[in-house]
């Protein structure tokens, strides 16, 4: 369409959404969504998939999340990866309480979301009983693609501001469920053994 089309469509020559004419609130939400640091909280087999997401093949650094923080004071996203035992629940809550506001939670895997196949007294039947969950990533274990989809969904909620309004009104998480994305198949080269 070009510059002429931009001027005709919005009257500002395409300058309606840039650093100079944007609202400071929108710029803060944009920056916040692209510079989130997750807290390392891997509890079971889902943690391996979470680590794979941070490795070179999937490279979540392109989303501004290249550093998994060991200190909760430097993190703003908690990815609960795996089953949470009753013994671990107070530790999970303590780490969540030590994170700075605003903070968000992704429940990764069916065990973290609902207890999974561990329907007994020793496993918490959903991490939402301990911390407010914003995005649920399904699967046993979820693929790195599913975790990336959950991260992108969370980033969209942060950028829109909807998640902050809901948190102020209810004190609960966004409670968004994403679809599981199957692992991509690796093509087999002909003639290789």
Give residue limits of the domains in the chain. 21-177
Give the DSSP H/E element, type plus range, for residue 145: helix 144-160
Give per-residue pLDDT as tens, 130-148. 999 999 998 888 888 899 8
Check whether 189 has a pLDDT greater than 60.
no
pLDDT score for 8: 43
Q: From CA 137, how far away is CA 155, in angstroms rounded?
A: 14
* Closest C-alpha to 80, from 56, 114, 31: 114
> Hey, is 90 helix, strand or coil?
helix
Check whether 13 has a pLDDT greater than 70.
no
pLDDT score for 105: 92
Check whether 9 has a pLDDT greater than 50.
no
Least confident of 85-94, 95-104, 120-129, 153-162: 153-162
CB 135 within 8 A of CB 38: no
Instruction: Fold for 21-177, please state it.
Output: Rossmann fold (3.40.50)
Mean pLDDT in the chain?
A: 78
50: its two tokens: 């979470």
Contacts of 56 (CB under 8 A, 6+ apart): none
Work out the average pLDDT over 152-180.
Answer: 76
Check whether 18 has a pLDDT greater than 80.
no
Least confident of 26-40, 59-73, 84-98, 175-189: 175-189
pLDDT score for 95: 92
Query: In which band, very low, low, confident or very high, does the pLDDT at 87 lie, cut at 50, 70 and 90?
Result: very high
Q: Which residue has the tokens 């035992």?
A: 85
Q: From CA 48, how far away is CA 140, in angstroms rounded?
A: 12
């Amino acid at each position: 369409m070009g510059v002429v089309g931009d001027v005709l469509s919005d009257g500002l020559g395409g300058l309606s959404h840039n650093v100079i004419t944007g609202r400071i609130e929108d710029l803060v939400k944009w920056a916040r969504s692209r510079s989130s640091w997750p807290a390392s909280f891997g509890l079971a087999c889902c943690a391996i998939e979470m680590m794979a997401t941070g490795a070179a093949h999937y490279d979540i650094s392109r989303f501004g999340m290249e550093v998994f923080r060991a200190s909760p004071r430097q993190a703003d996203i908690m990815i609960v990866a795996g089953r949470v035992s009753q013994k671990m629940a107070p530790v999970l809550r303590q780490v969540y309480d030590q994170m700075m506001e605003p903070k968000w939670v992704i429940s990764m895997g069916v065990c973290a979301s609902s207890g999974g196949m561990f329907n007994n007294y020793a496993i918490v039947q959903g991490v939402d009983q301990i911390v407010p969950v914003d995005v649920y990533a399904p699967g046993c274990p979820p693929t790195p693609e599913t975790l990336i989809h959950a991260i992108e969904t969370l980033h969209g909620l942060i950028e829109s501001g909807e998640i902050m309004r809901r948190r102020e009104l209810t004190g609960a998480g966004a409670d968004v469920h994403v679809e599981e994305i199957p692992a991509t198949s690796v093509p087999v080269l002909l003639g290789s053994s």
